[in-house]
Structure 1
């Protein structure tokens, strides 16, 4: 099934996305931030001046002055005549901010407790936007389990595990990404080695994202590989999605009542989310 493509915002003069500011920002600083945030509301990466102004809730002249000032500082890049995208200065700021998120020394103990409480494999995935939105496993607690027992080849790990279309952890991240990025992921091909439970229909996948946002967790049934089920919960940094905690267990060992597994997975994800918002906690 084909995904719906968001129409270009400049197709109709003056058209604005539904989440554009209701009132124009009053201060110069607020206007500059509004222009920067406009890029997160628009589909794609390169946009005309009119589209950026509409998403920022500003007039074209003000938006042009802010963009030209930002081009000089590397915050924005001008691509051709009257078209812009976010620049390397924005990326550097994001990298600097994410570099202070908690490392394995802080998170590994939380994963160990999840593993002990559930008897399942506990993994931490983080969102990686480089080269397209995907997830990467940065830490895990699996006890005495041989990684080969999971039954995935190196190729599977690269293709299936990185896709946000496959698995509870992928969907737990995808559910909180902007619609423009969700549309890109929904347009991706499903990895051919994905498990038999992978959600192939985009309408069903979208409905599962709504459910994750409503419940705060996701359940996967043999989505990434045969014979393994999972529970995943998102890890947030304030209102931004950073990754997901995954509890993975053999399908034959999954209890009928998932509430204890859900409770411990949610607790682990909330604990890691608290580390991202508390610099003091991250040092303990």
Structure 2
């Protein structure tokens, strides 16, 4: 993620990757990975053989052999006759990979620098896929501010701030998730206590996701809480979303020119993203 001064305005055309491989994978290993990736392209979690084969770009017989081999190793699970889903072996591999993300000691210093550079509240949200895609705040720097001044109740924290539908950090994380997961989130109800600026129309919300991917950041105007605006940037592990850095400031204190705030938020997110790719991050 390269930092540059973002444009003040702009209309960004929609850009989507194909849901089907352009050509069938040639090697046996590539075919196995294609079958596994097919589950990320299909809506829902349980799929028939033919749908998996189509998404992988393979014939039914080859896909069946790969699935059956994966079932014995726990990579896939067979659910009923001819229907499959990803297995616990895939989940274990994902947990093992994510466990090596940077620790709080290293990320907290980055949030402190963001707070000092902008005077805003600096928060780190991570993607939590268990039980449905949502975000969780794992660290924050708020200076001398009393948390009660933010104006969120415990119920709001559980509902509004975890939803990927609300706030700049939620939409930033959502923008980098597969379309199948985006559709699940868009099907959720907007939390009833969300702020007055929350984007309720699904078409408008989906349009902001493409813009976020193009610009590399998101801006929120009183989406989670009345009187608070935000800037957020993605924390990435290569091209996979891990979370988002969020900068919060009172709406009345937000400058007309957001570029300095955007720059510092991008810089913080890039610094944490670099830690995820460093082999030393697990030891920090």
Aligned to 1:197, the other structure's residue is in SS state: coil
Tell me if 1:266 matches 2:274.
no
For the Cα contact (< 8 Å) 1:106–1:283, is it kept in 2? no
1: CA distance, partners of 2:157 / 2:117: 26
Aligned to 2:242, the other structure's residue is in SS state: strand
Give the aligned partner of residue 217 of structure 2. Answer: 217
1: CA distance, partners of 2:282 / 2:77: 35
For the Cα contact (< 8 Å) 2:101–2:281, is it kept in 1? no
Aligned to 1:122, the other structure's residue is in SS state: strand
Report how far residue 26 of structure 1 moved: 1.5
TM-score, length-normalised on structure 2? 0.92
Aligned length: 268
Report how far residue 19 of structure 1 moved: 2.9
TM-score, length-normalised on structure 1? 0.92
1: CA distance, partners of 2:108 / 2:34: 38
2: CA distance, partners of 1:29 / 1:182: 29
Give the aligned partner of residue 88 of structure 2. Answer: 88
Give the aligned partner of residue 25 of structure 2. Answer: 25
1:234-271 residue CA offsets vs partner (Å, 9 max, x unmatched): 11100101110000011111111111100000000011
1: CA distance, partners of 2:38 / 2:210: 24
1:147-168 residue CA offsets vs partner (Å, 9 max, x unmatched): 1110100000000000000000
1: CA distance, partners of 2:226 / 2:276: 34
Give the aligned partner of residue 51 of structure 2. Answer: 51
Please, what is the CA RMSD of the aligned residues?
Answer: 1.1
Give the aligned partner of residue 175 of structure 1. Answer: 175
Bigger RCO (CA 8 Å, 6+ sep): 2
Give the aligned partner of residue 154 of structure 1. Answer: 154
Report how far residue 142 of structure 1 moved: 0.9
Aligned to 2:81, the other structure's residue is in SS state: coil
Give the aligned partner of residue 6 of structure 1. Answer: none
